[in-house]
Chain A
Amino acid sequence: MFEMDGEMDKKKKKKKKINKKEKMEGMKKEMDIVSKRQTPQGFRGLTSAFAAQVLERDGPNELKPPKGTPEYVKFARQLAGGLQCLMWVAACICFIAFGIELARGNVTCFDNLYLAITLIAVVVVTGCFGYYQEFKSTNIIASFKNLVPQQAIVIRDGQKNQINAHQLVVGDLVEIKGGDGIPADIRIITSQACKVDNSSLTGESEPQTRTPECTHENPLETRNIAFFSTTCMEGTVTTGMIINTGDRTIIGRIATLASGVGNEKTPIAIEIEHFVDIIAGLAIFFGFTFFVVAMFIGYAFLEAMIFFMAIVVAYVPEGLLATVTVCLSLTAKRLARKNCVVKNLEAVETLGSTSVICSDKTGTLTQNRMTVAHLWFDNHIHAADTTEDQSGKSFDQSSETWRSLARVASLCNRATFRPDQEGVPIPKRLVVGDASETALLKFTELTVGNIVDYRERFKKAVELPFNSTNKFQVSIHELDDPLDLRYLLVMKGAPERILERCSTILIKGQELPLDEQWSEAFQTAYMDLGGLGERVLGFCHLHLNEKEYPRGCPFDPDEMNFPTSGLCFAGLISMIDPPRATVPDAVMKCRTAGIRVVMVTGDHPITARAIAANVGIITEGSETVEDIAQRKRIPVEQVNKRDARACVISGGQLKDMSSDELDEALRSHPEMVFARTSPQQKLIIVESCQRLGSIVAVTGDGVNDSPALKKADIGVAMGIAGSDAAKNAADMILLDDNFASIVTGVEQGRLIFDNLKKSIAYTLTKNIPELTPYLIYITVSVPLPLGCITILFIELATDIYPSVSLAYEKAESDIMNLKPRNPRQHRLVNEALAVYSYFQIGAIQSYAGFTDYFAAMAQEGWFPLLCVGLRPQWEDVHLQDLQDSYGQEWTFSQRLYQQYTCYTVFFVSIEICQISDVLIRKTRRLSVFQQGFFRNRVLVSAIVFQLLLGNLLCYCPGMPNIFNFMPIRVQWWFVPVPYGILIFVYDEIRKLGVRRFPGSWWDQELYY
C-alpha cells in the first residue's frame, strides 16, 4: 500500500513538474506581452481593439463542456427504462406469436405483427420525447446560467467596465472583491486582505491569502495567483492581470474537475419513476396472475403470453412521465417570467411545501436605498413620500422654515448625480455619494427642483466634509441675491451635536430663542424618529455678518475660522431604507398561507424591528417581552414569555443561546426578528427551524450565506445583489431581489403540486377501463372489447394533451389560505388518490365502456348473454358461418370488424368519460361551478382536440385496417354520456361532502 502510495506521489510530482514547467513558460510568455502593452500608468489595461484581437485568437474565456455521455448513449438510455423494457418484452412476445402463427401457415392474422411494430414505435417515440425533454431541460438550465452570467469588472482603455466573464482575454486587468468568482487565472497586482477559497481546486478548506508577492515557484503554491472557478471570500478591491483564460486555465487543464451540468435526477422525478416502477411491478404481477389463470383455464401458452402482454400494456400509464415533466417545465418557465429562476425542476415542487421563510432585510424586504421618510420642523413631524414610484402623498411645503431647511439640505451635500441621466426617474438615478447624502440629494431634487442649478446660484466658498470626530458637515455659500453680500453657513450632522451649536430655532420662519421648551420638543421628535428605526440628521444655518466676513474672505476649513456655534436650528430629516411596496401584501399572504416569515438581518435591532412592523412580520398589537415589561412596569424577567407574540433577538443574544433555547424561542414566539446576526448564525437559525419540522426557504446574497443556502430546503439567491457563490449554492434565483417573488414562487409551487396531483389522477383513472376488458375477456370469454393498439392511442395520443392542460388550471381560490403541506405525510400520489381514481371513477368508466360495448354488440345482432362464452367460436378463423342472436351467419372477417367496432366504441366511451374526468379533476375541493368551466382555455381546447382526434381516428378512411378503428354509429358516442354525467355528479357530491364536513369519514376517505 505504502509503496504504491509512494509511486503515486512520484507520479503526481512528475505531473506537477511538467505542469509547472508549462505553466511557468506560459506565464513568462504572457508577461512579455503584457509588459509590452502596458502603458506607463500601468492601470489603463488593454485597449478594446487589442482585447478583441486576443479574444479572436484565444476564443472565449469559458471551459468547453466536458465530453459527457455521448448523445446516442443518452438516447439508448431513454429506450431502456424499466417501462420500456417491459414494452420491448411485450413486442417480442408479439413477434414470437406472429412467427408461430406464420409458421402454422395462418397468414390472415397480421394483428400481432402490427401490435409489435406499434409497441416498438411507442417505445421509440416516447424515447425520442424523453430525450428531447432531457435535451430541452439541460438547455433550460444552461439558458438560466446565461440569464445570470458571471460578470467581471475589467479595466480597458483606462475605464472600468462590467462585462461578461467569457469575454475576458489574457492581459486584461480585472477587479475582484469579496464574493466574486475569479473569472480566469489571474496574477494579483494590488490587493487588500484578499482571501480566496481554493477548495474546488486544491481541497484546502481554509481560505488562502492572496498578495502581489510571488512566494513560491510553483504557481499552485504561490500567493500571487488566483485561479479560475475559485471564489474570492474576502477583501475589498483586488486588481489582477489575467494570465490564462478558458481551457488553458489550471482548472481547464484538469478536465476531470470541470463539471458540466449535472444529469442528476430530481427527487420528484425519482418519486415519479419509483411510482412508475411500482405500477410496472403491479402490472407484471397482474399479468402473471392472469397468465397463470389463463393457463389454468386451458388457454394455449402463446395465448396466455399475449394476455400477459396485453395486461401490461393496459395497466402501465405510458404517458405519465411525459406529462409530469412537461407540467414541471411549464411551471419553471412561468416562474422565470415572474423573476424566479428555478435551477432544478424539483425546487418548484419543494417551494410549495415551504413553511418558514428566513428573509434578509436589506434589498429583499426593503428597496435597498436610503430615502427620506420624515422631517421635523415647525414642531411637527411631517411624513415624506417613500414609495418607489413617488405615488404617495407629500407634506405641506408652504412654511418658510421648510424653505430654509431645504436650502440647508440642498447645499450642505456633496453627492452629485452621475451625468447623462436626464431620462431616468429621479429615484432610480445613479449618484456619487454615501447613502444618506444620496437620499437627501434625491429628496431635494424632487422637492426643490434642479439641484445643480440651485447649487450654482449659491456659490460654495468653503466646505468641511463630515468626519467621525466632529460628526457634522459644514459649507459656506454666497447668497443667490446679488445685493445680499452676506455668506450663508449651512451645517448638518448628528442631531444632538447640531443642537449643541444652536442658540435659536426657526419656527414658521421666525427665529426664536432655543429655550428649554423647544429643546424638549426637539428631544421628543428625535426619540420618536429614532424609535421608528430611522437615521436622523439635524440641520442648521447662519447668515454670517457681512462686516466680519466680507466677500472674498479666506475661509480655512482646517482652522475653522468661521463660527460653528450660535447657529439657527432649521429642522430634522430622518431617513430609512423603506420596505418595497409589494412586501406587506406578500407577508400578509404568507401569514394566511401558514408560512412564517422570519427576518434575519445584520442591521440594528431597532431598525429591524421598525421594518418588521412596517411590512407586517411583527403584526400590529404584537408585543415583545420588553414591550410587556415596559407596559406593565415590571422587570423583564417576570414577564411570561408565552404572552409575547413577537421577539427580537440580536446576534449577541443568539451567541449565548443553546440550540434548545433557540428552538424554544422559535416555538413560543410566532413573530421573530433576528438582528445584528452574522451569516454563520443564519445557518444556526435554519437548522433550528428544520429541527422544528419546517421546510425552510432562506434568502441570501453573500458568500458567507452559501452554507445556509445549501442547508435550507430551498436556498434563494439574489439575482442583482447576490454573489456568484450564493447563486451557485441556491436552488432558486430571484432576478428582481424581491421578497414578493418568493411568495409567487410558493404559490406556483403549491399550484403545480395540486395540478400534478390532478394530472396524475386523470392519467391513472383510465387504466382501469383499459384493464377490465381483458379481465372480462379472459374470465367470461366475451369477444375482446378493447385492443392493445387502441389502448396505446388513448395513453399516448388523445389523453396526453388534456392531462398536460391540467397544469394550466388556476388555483382553487383558497390555495394560499391553507397550511403548508407536510411533505412526509402528503405525498404526490397517495393512497386516497389511487383508490379514488382506480376503484371509483375507473370503475364507472369501465361500466360505461361495457354498456357501450354490449349496446354495439346487441344492436348488430349479438345479445349480451350470447356473448358470454362466445370467445372460442368468435375467434375461430375457420368458422365462417357463426350464428348471431337473430340467426344470421357471420364470417370471421365480419366478426373481426365487429370486434374493431367494439374497440372503437370502448375507446369512445373512455374518451367521453375522460372528458368528464378532466372536468372533475379541475378541482379537488371546490365545485367546478365555482372554478368556472371555461377559465382554463387550454383545457377547453384540449377537450376539443381530444374529440377531434377521436373523430379523426374513427372516421378517417383506412383506419380500420391500420389501427383497428372503425367508423362507428353516431348513437354509440352518446351511450357513455349518462356515465359521464354520473362521474361529474358523483364527484360534485364528493366535493360537497368534503367541503361541508371537513374531517369527517367522507373527507378522510374521499379527499385526495
Chain B
Amino acid sequence: MSGTKEEDRKGSSEWRNFFWNPRTHELLGRTASSWGLILLFYLIFYLFLAGMFVLTMYIMLLTLDDYKPTWQDRLATPGMMIRPKGNQLEISFSVSETESWDGFIHNLNHFLSPYNNSYQVQTNDNCSPDQYFIQEDSGEVRNNPKRSCQFNRTMLEECSGISDRFYGYSSGQPCILIKLNRVIGMLPGKDSQSPYVTCGAKRMDSDKIGPLAYYPPNGTFNLMYYPYYGKKAQVNYTQPLVAVKFLNASLNTDINVECKINSNTLAEGSERDKFAGRISFKLRINDK
C-alpha cells in the first residue's frame, strides 16, 4: 500500500518536475531560452506561411474579374422565390383577422418600395420591350455604369398595392410576388419570347386553387430586363417580378401551389433542387 502511495508521490513529483523543474529552470521540459528559440522559429515559420497564403490569395484575387464571376457552374437554372416570405414558405392567414396578414402587407410594401414609379423613372431607362438590353463593353473600355430598365410598380396592377392597399389579402384574394434569382449574363429566352410563370396546384389540390390572374399579363419576365451585368456594373438593376393573384381559392384548406418558369433556353432544374426554376408553397386562407 505504502509502496503504491510512494510511487504515486514519485509520479506526481515527476509531473511537477516536468511542469517546472527548479533545478534546471525548465518549464514543460524546456528552458526559457529554448522556449524562446522554438517560439521564434514558429513565429517566423507561421509568418512566412501566412505571407505565402496572403500572396497566393492576392494573386488569386487579381485573376478575378470584378464584373463577372470566373465560373457559374452551379447557376445553370436560376432559383425562384416568392414574396411575401414567411417561414417554411407558408402563406396562411385569416381574412377577418387583420393581424394575421398584416406582416405580409408590410413585407410586400417594404419589398416593393424600390419599384415605385417615381423612383424607377428617376433612375432607370424606359427600354424597348421583348428584346435583350445588351450593353457590351468595347474591348478593355468598360461601358459603365450600365443602365437598367424600369420595372414600375404599376405594372403589377391589382397586386401593386396602389389600387388595393392590402394586396387582396383583406378580400381573400391574396397576391403572391414571384421573382427569378439574378444570374449574371443569363439570357432566359430566345426569338423574343420572354419566359413566363405558370402556377398550378399540386396533387389533389387542383380543384381548390381556383382561377389565377398574372401581372404583368401572362406572367412574363420581359426580355428587356436581361442580361444582368452584376451589382457593380449595373447598380440600379431592378429585378422584374410576376404577381399571381388567387381569385377564388378554396377557404379553410391547405393548397399546395407550384409555380414554374417556362423558358425556351433555361435548363430544367434538377430533381433535387426544389427552388431551381420552380417554387412550391402552401397557401391557406381561413375565413374567420
Contacts and interface: CB of A to CB of B under 8 A. Distances in A.
Interface of A: 105, 108, 839-840, 843-844, 847, 850-851, 854-855, 858-861, 863-864, 878, 880-881, 883-895, 897-898, 901, 961, 969, 975, 978-979, 982, 1001, 1005
A854 B183 CA distance: 21
B74 A898 contact: yes
**CB-based closest 5 A-B pairs:** A887-B231, A891-B79, A889-B181, A893-B273, A859-B70
Contacts of A897: 74
Contacts of B53: 847, 850-851
Interface string B47-62: 0010011001100110
Contacts of A883: 182, 231
A999 to B, nearest CB: 15
Contacts of B74: 860, 890, 894-895, 897-898, 901
A634 B142 CA distance: 106
Nearest to B89: A878
Which of B73, B78, B80, B276 has the most A CB atoms < 10 Å from its CB? Answer: B73
B274 interface: yes
Given A891-B275, A893-B276, 12 more contacts: A840-B45, A859-B69, A861-B72, A880-B80, A880-B181, A886-B232, A887-B182, A888-B72, A888-B184, A889-B79, A891-B79, A894-B79
Which of B79, B182, B228, B279 has the most A CB atoms < 10 Å from its CB? Answer: B79
B18 interface: no
Interface in B30-70: 37-38, 41-42, 45-46, 49, 52-53, 56-57, 60-61, 64, 67-70
B37 A978 contact: no
Contact of A978 (B46, B56, B89): B56
B75 interface: yes
15 contacts: A843-B46, A864-B61, A878-B89, A886-B68, A887-B230, A888-B182, A889-B181, A889-B183, A890-B181, A891-B79, A893-B272, A893-B273, A894-B75, A894-B276, A969-B71
A1001 B87 CA distance: 62
A982 to B, nearest CB: 7
A342 B98 CA distance: 87
A858 B37 CA distance: 38
B88 interface: yes
A893 B183 CA distance: 15
A839 B37 CA distance: 16
Contacts of A1005: 38, 41
Contacts of B255: none
Contacts of B46: 843
Contact of A858 (B64, B183, B273): B64
Nearest to A969: B71
Nearest to A831: B29
Contacts of B80: 880
A858 B64 CA distance: 8
B284 interface: no
A262 B60 CA distance: 60
A964 to B, nearest CB: 13
Contact of A854 (B57, B72, B89, B181): B57
Given A881-B79, A881-B181, A889-B79, A860 B73 contact: yes
Contacts of A890: 74-75, 79, 181
Which of A851, A880, A1005 has the most B CB atoms < 10 Å from its CB? Answer: A880
Nearest to B186: A888
Interface in B261-288: 270, 272-276, 279
Nearest to A850: B53
Nearest to A108: B274
B70 A887 contact: no
Contacts of A864: 57, 61
B181 A891 contact: yes
Contacts of A1001: 37
A988 to B, nearest CB: 16
A859 B74 CA distance: 12
Contact of A893 (B70, B184, B275): B275
Nearest to B65: A886
B169 to A, nearest CB: 21
A285 B230 CA distance: 46
A938 B170 CA distance: 76
A375 B9 CA distance: 72
B88 A878 contact: yes
B56 A893 contact: no
A860 B70 contact: yes
A40 B28 CA distance: 85
A885 B53 CA distance: 21
Contacts of B79: 880-881, 889-891, 894
A97 B209 CA distance: 37
B75 A888 contact: yes
B179 interface: yes
Which of A108, A881, A890 has the most B CB atoms < 10 Å from its CB? Answer: A881
B223 interface: no
Given A893-B275, A897-B74, A851 B183 contact: no
Contact of A884 (B45, B69, B70): B69
Interface string B117-144: 0000000000000000000000000000
A859 B64 contact: yes
B177 interface: no
Nearest to A891: B79
Interface in B169-199: 179, 181-184
A982 B52 contact: yes
Given A843-B46, A854-B57, A891 B276 contact: yes
A878 B87 contact: yes
B81 interface: yes
Contacts of B183: 888-889
Interface in B239-272: 270, 272
A875 to B, nearest CB: 15
Contacts of A901: 73-74
A881 B179 contact: yes
Contacts of B52: 847, 978-979, 982
A526 to B, nearest CB: 65
A858 B181 contact: no
Contact of A887 (B61, B71, B184): B184
Given A843-B46, A891-B181, A861 B89 contact: no
Contacts of A863: 61, 64
A851 B56 contact: yes
A887 B60 CA distance: 20
A623 to B, nearest CB: 44
B56 A886 contact: no
A893 B75 CA distance: 10
A994 to B, nearest CB: 15
Contact of A839 (B42, B64, B231): B42
Which of A843, A860, A864 has the most B CB atoms < 10 Å from its CB? Answer: A860
A168 to B, nearest CB: 52
A851 B231 CA distance: 26
Contacts of A859: 64, 69-71
Contacts of A892: 275
A113 B46 CA distance: 38
A887 B232 contact: yes
A864 B61 CA distance: 9
B159 to A, nearest CB: 19
Contacts of A108: 274
Contact of B69 (A860, A975, A979): A860
B72 to A, nearest CB: 7
B197 to A, nearest CB: 15
Interface string B66-102: 0111111111001111000101110000000000000
A958 B55 CA distance: 36
Contacts of A844: 49
Which of A858, A881, A886, A901 has the most B CB atoms < 10 Å from its CB? Answer: A886
A847 B49 contact: yes
Given A887-B232, A888-B75, A893-B275, A851 B57 contact: yes
Contacts of A881: 79, 81, 179, 181
